[in-house]
C-alpha cells in the first residue's frame, strides 16, 4: 500500500468501528451481547489510535472519551461474565451449591443493568458521546499518516507488552496479570488491523515468536481473561453472605486458577 493510501484506510477503519459501536449501543434484543460487542469494538478503536500515537493525529482527547465510554459499560459486562463463569463451575460440579450462587449473581446483574438504563435510557447519552467522538475523528489529518508511524506504534506496543509480561511473571499480582492481559489484547488487535492499514508492512513483520503472532496472542489473551473472570467470581463468593459450602466452592475456583496454563 502506498503511503498516501494509509491515511484513508485508517480513517475508513475508524469509521467502521464507530458505526459498529453505534449499532451495539442501539441495544439489540440481547442487551448483554450488545454491551459486550460495544466494549470489544471500543477496545479495537482505542488500539488503532494507540498505534498512531507517533503520528500527527491528536488522539488523546478522543481516546479519553472512548475510555470513559468503555468504562461506563465495564460493570455491566463484568456482572454478566461472572454469571457465565458461575454457570460453568455449576456445570462442572452440579452437586455443589452453585445454582443458588448463580441465581444471586444473576439478580445482581439484572439490578445493575436496570440502574444503568434508568440513568441513561436506551443508552442515549452514550450514543451522543459517540457522535462527538466520531466527529473528532473525522477532523483528524489522516492524510499525514505514514508507514513509519505504524512501525513506531507497534514497536512501542511490543515493548509495553514485554514489560507487562515480565512484571506479571515476577509479582504474580492479579493487577499486574490484568495489565499484561490488556497489553496482550491491544497488541493482538493492532496486528489484526495492520493488513487493512498497510499490507506491505504487515507482510514484512517477522512473527517468529508467540509475542508477535496475532493468533497466539489471542489464545494467551483468552487464557488470561478466563483467569480474571474466575478471580471475579472468587471475590464475590468470598463476601457473599450465607453461602453454603463456601470453602468447597472457593477450593474449586482455586483449583481452576492453579490449573491454568503458564
Nearest CA to 50 out of 177, 159, 132, 206 is that of 159
Q: Where are the beta strands (DSSP E) in the chain?
A: none
* Tens digit of each residue's pLDDT (9 = 90 or more) over 155-195: 999 999 999 999 988 888 888 888 888 898 999 899 999 99
Burial class (CB in 10 A: 0-12, 13-18, 19+), 178: middle
Taking CA 219 as the corner, what is the angle to CA 203 and CA 52, rounded to the nearest 5 degrees? 45
Query: What string of pLDDT tens digits covers the 262 residues of the chain?
Result: 445 589 999 999 999 999 999 999 987 778 999 999 999 999 999 999 999 998 999 999 999 999 999 998 999 999 999 999 999 999 988 878 999 999 999 999 999 999 999 999 999 999 999 999 999 999 999 999 999 999 999 999 999 999 999 998 888 888 888 888 889 899 989 999 999 998 887 777 755 444 455 667 667 777 888 888 999 999 999 999 999 899 999 999 999 988 865 5
pLDDT at position 224, please? 80
In total, the chain counts a number of residues equal to 262
Question: What is the C-alpha separation between 164 and 167, in angstroms, rounded?
Answer: 5
Distance CA 170, CA 168 (A): 5
Contact 161, 190 (CB under 8 A): no
Residue 245 grid coordinates: 459450602
- The H or E element containing residue 130 is helix 124-138
What is the CATH architecture assignment of 3-253? Alpha solenoid (1.40)
pLDDT at 208: 46
What pLDDT was estimated at residue 206? 57
Question: Can you tell me the distance from the alpha carbon of 238 to that of 197, in angstroms, rounded to the nearest whole number?
Answer: 46
In terms of Cβ atoms closer than 10 Å to its own Cβ (0-12, 13-18, 19+), residue 64 is exposed
What whole-number distance in Å separates Cα of residue 88 and Cα of residue 167? 30
Cell numbers given for 53: 500515537
pLDDT at 27: 72
What pLDDT is stored for residue 2 in this prediction? Answer: 46
Which of 14, 15, 21, 19 shows the shortest CA–CA distance to 40? 21
Domain ranges (residues) in the chain: 3-253
Q: What confidence tens digit (pLDDT) does each residue in 58-82 have?
A: 999 999 999 999 998 999 999 999 9
Q: Residue 150 CA to chain centroid, in angstroms?
A: 21
Sign of the Cα torsion 108, 110, 114, 116 reads: positive
CA pair distance 18, 33, nearest whole angstrom: 17
- The pLDDT assigned to 204 comes to 75
Amino acid at each position: 500500500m502506498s503511503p498516501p493510501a494509509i491515511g484513508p484506510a485508517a480513517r475508513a477503519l475508524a469509521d467502521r468501528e464507530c458505526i459498529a459501536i453505534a449499532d451495539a449501543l442501539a441495544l439489540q434484543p440481547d442487551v448483554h451481547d450488545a454491551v459486550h460487542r460495544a466494549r470489544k469494538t471500543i477496545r479495537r478503536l482505542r488500539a488503532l489510535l494507540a498505534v498512531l500515537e507517533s503520528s500527527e493525529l491528536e488522539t488523546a482527547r478522543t481516546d479519553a472519551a472512548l475510555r470513559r465510554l468503555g468504562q461506563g459499560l465495564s460493570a455491566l459486562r463484568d456482572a454478566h461474565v461472572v454469571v457465565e463463569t458461575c454457570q460453568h463451575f455449576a456445570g462442572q460440579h452440579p452437586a455443589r451449591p452453585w445454582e443458588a450462587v448463580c441465581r444471586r449473581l444473576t439478580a445482581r446483574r439484572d439490578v445493575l443493568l436496570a440502574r444503568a438504563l434508568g440513568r441513561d435510557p436506551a443508552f442515549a447519552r452514550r450514543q451522543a458521546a459517540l457522535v462527538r467522538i466520531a466527529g473528532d475523528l473525522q477532523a483528524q489529518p489522516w492524510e499525514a499518516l505514514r508507514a513509519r508511524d505504524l512501525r513506531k506504534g507497534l514497536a512501542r506496543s511490543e515493548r509495553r507488552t514485554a514489560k507487562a509480561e515480565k512484571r506479571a511473571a515476577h509479582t504474580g499480582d492479579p493487577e499486574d496479570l490484568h495489565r499484561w492481559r490488556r497489553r496482550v489484547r491491544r497488541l493482538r488487535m493492532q496486528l489484526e488491523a495492520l493488513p487493512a492499514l498497510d499490507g506491505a508492512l504487515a507482510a514484512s513483520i517477522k512473527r517468529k515468536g508467540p509475542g508477535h503472532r496475532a493468533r497466539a496472542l489471542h489464545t494467551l489473551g483468552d487464557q488470561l481473561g478466563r483467569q480474571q473472570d474466575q478471580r471475579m467470581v472468587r471475590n464475590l463468593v468470598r463476601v457473599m453472605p450465607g453461602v453454603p459450602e463456601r470453602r468447597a466452592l472457593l477450593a474449586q475456583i482455586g483449583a481452576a486458577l492453579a490449573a491454568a496454563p503458564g
